[in-house]
Amino acid sequence: MILVTGGAGFIGSHTCVELLNSGYEVVVVDNLCNSHKTSLERVEKITGKKLSFEQADVRDAVALDGIFSKYHIDCVIHFAGLKAVGESVQKPLEYFDNNLNSSLVLCDVMKKHNVHNLVFSSSATVYSGDNKMPLKEDSKTGDCTNPYGWTKYMSEQIFKALCVADPQMSVVLLRYFNPIGAHESGLIGEDPRGIPNNLLPYVSQTAVGIREKVTVFGDDYPTPDGTGVRDYIHVVDLARAHICAVEYAEKHKGCDVFNIGTGRGTSVLEIIKAFSEASSINVPYQIGPRRPGDLPVCYADCSKAKNVLGFETKYDIKRMCADSWRWQKNNPKGYAK
């Protein structure tokens, strides 16, 4: 059985679909601080299979201990965490507490229950800003520009040190690039609280009429059209990467790290154009100033994930936008009806 922390969230819910479809049993632990239980009901609807749900905070060692006693856990996928970059600057202690203590408590309880396999949600944000593109796993890390980034960097250090200390441990660190899209059913997708920070939810909420227009953060970058370039990956592809990582964790010991992206960069204006085509709605936008801390270009070298995990993406930007739009159109207010 796979324990999925944060499984009710955006990436977690899509991963639960892939796990259930691959024949795994799943128990989700989530405190629902940034998600709705409805997502898990939809996961069951999509797959026609049941999962177990325990509403608990991963930092609650007593609750977690009880969950590890109740279920036979073979591997943990640890998504639970806070992820809003701007908010982390305003509330650093909340971010360090949630994201670091959840990792520490989880590792402690895993050790007590002899569970040795873990897949962790890391991020491209751990890379330093002065690297050459594409980013490789051994590109420079650190120099994070916000507390959220530091929590991912520090969590990586915790897992690496743990694997040195305990040779039975197997940890797979997945550094996600920019996950977007939604399940093709239109039943599950990204449901950010308040005004979205990320580009795709902002574009899709503009298309559906919740926001007036998208502000493009700078058009004077040294890129082909002057706007920022990122490596967007379909969330269903990203979810599939977790199946590869679980399989790899079973046969591998120690700590290993993989970029999970497509290896291709897409600009902000290309995203707005692709989304406008997918939705048949001309998404309005205006050019604004650069957002502090943004890199001009960020994309992955994905050869290690391909060669070692056997993971390759299937979906292009057109499909990512079409699936995001289906989710947004069918659920204009997300899970809250």
Residue 189 · residue 50 · CB < 8 Å: no
219 and 286 in contact (C-beta within 8 Å)? Answer: no
Whether 153 is a known active-site residue: answer no
Categorise residue 226: left if φ over 0, alpha if ψ from -120 to 50, beta otherwise: left
Residue 11 makes contact with ligand NAD by CB under 6 A = yes
Minimal CA–CA distance to 6: which of 95, 99, 91? 99
- For residues 263, 260, 245, 27, the Cα torsion angle rounded to the nearest 10 degrees is -140
Interacting partner of 268 out of ligand WQD, ligand NAD, none (Cβ under 5 to 8 A depending on kind): ligand WQD
- Convert residues 97-136 into a mask of x (bound to ligand NAD by CB under 6 A) and - (unbound): -x---x------------------x-x-------------
Instruction: Choose the one of ligand WQD, ligand NAD, none that binds residue 202, judging by a C-beta under 5 to 8 angstroms depending on kind.
Output: ligand WQD
Distances in Å between the Cα of 23 and the Cα atoms of 51, 76, 171, 237 are 11, 16, 22, 18
Instruction: Pick out residues in 239-268 that bind ligand WQD (CB under 6 A).
Output: 268
> Which member of 95, 148, 153, 202 is catalytic?
148
Does residue 131 touch ligand WQD according to CB under 6 A?
no
Does the protein bind ligand WQD through residue 202 (CB under 6 A)? yes
Looking at this protein, which amino acid is placed at residue 300?
A
Question: Residue 330 is encoded by which pair of tokens?
Answer: 């069918």
Helix (H) or strand (E) holding 118: strand 117-123
- Closest residue to ligand WQD, judged by C-beta, is 228
221 three-state secondary structure: coil
Q: Measured from the CB of residue 226, what is the shortest distance to ligand WQD in angstroms?
A: 11
x/- site string to ligand WQD, residues 143 to 162, per CB under 6 A? --------------------
Q: How many residues bind ligand NAD (CB under 6 A)?
A: 27
Of 84 and 162, nearer to ligand NAD (C-beta) is 84
* Range 89-95 contact pairs with CB under 8 angstroms and sequence separation of 24 or more: 89/146, 89/147, 92/147, 95/147, 95/148, 95/151
Closest CA to 77 of 90, 94, 58: 58
Among 16, 17, 27, 30, the residue binding ligand NAD under the rule CB under 6 A is 30
Distance of closest approach, residue 45 Cβ to ligand WQD, in angstroms: 28
**Separation CA 103–CA 112 (nearest Å):** 14
User: Does the protein bind ligand NAD through residue 8 (CB under 6 A)?
Assistant: yes
Q: Does position 230 bind ligand NAD by CB under 6 A?
A: no
Q: 34 or 178: whose CB is closer to ligand WQD? A: 178
Active site positions, annotated: 148
Q: Residue numbers of the site for ligand WQD (CB under 6 A)?
A: 83, 85, 123, 125, 178, 197-199, 202, 214-217, 228, 230, 268, 291, 294
